[in-house]
Amino acid sequence: MFSQGRIDINVKKVVVCVGVLLVTLSILTIILQNMAYDDGSANLIRVACIGDSITDMGYYPNALQALLGSNYTVGNFGVGGATVLMDTGKPYIDQVEFVRAKNFLPDIAVIMLGTNDARTDHFKSIENFVSDYMKLINEIQEIESNPKVFLVKPPPLFDNEHELKNENLLEGIIPRIEQIANGEGLPIIDVYSALEDHPEYFWDGVHPSSEGAAVIANEVYEAIILFTESS
């Protein structure tokens, strides 16, 4: 029979081994994440698409990749339900995808947020929108790759079941995005105007279909090409 002392020693050995294994797995995870961004694309122009579910669905980032071609690599870092405002329960700045976006070391960061901030309950904190957005922008500008930041006026909101109000977007969100862009000298991409007359491009009044995503991708593409050709 085993003595209690020997059992205790064996248990301690198991605990130590498990701890070492967990640390090793954590290190391997970090290495693999870094390898994912070291895939032979070092000479490509990296474009980080930062946004909410409209980005996360992938239609517009995929279409953008097709338009930009093989000299670019586009990363999709969208988070469904994410907001600029920090008191909503899901601010983009606190999401894991934002960490991934920064680790991507983008040359260009395209931010299309604000749709979920137009929700009735979130919009009550609209006075914090500029300061909260600036915190996000500042973190992006501190990335060692020194990315060029593009701000996007979000797509229009049509009749929907999500309490997302177009008047909040038009009267509160977009003017503040324009204020930030003008104050910081950042290029702004007007997706709103490109889609405001096309409710048929939205399958639920909020999320664009592939046709709507193609319009978004084209607006972003033209802004990026204009920037890269002039720099």
In which order are the strands placed within the sheet that holds 148-153? 72-78, 45-51, 108-112, 148-153, 188-190
**Residue 100 burial (10 A CB sphere; 0-12, 13-18, 19+):** middle
Q: Output the pTM of the full model.
A: 0.83
Name the fold adopted by 42-230: Rossmann fold (3.40.50)
Residue type, 169: L
For the chain of 231 residues, list the mean pLDDT of each consecutive stretch of 10: 50 45 42 48 90 97 98 98 97 98 98 98 98 98 98 98 97 98 98 98 98 98 94 76
pLDDT of res. 8: 52
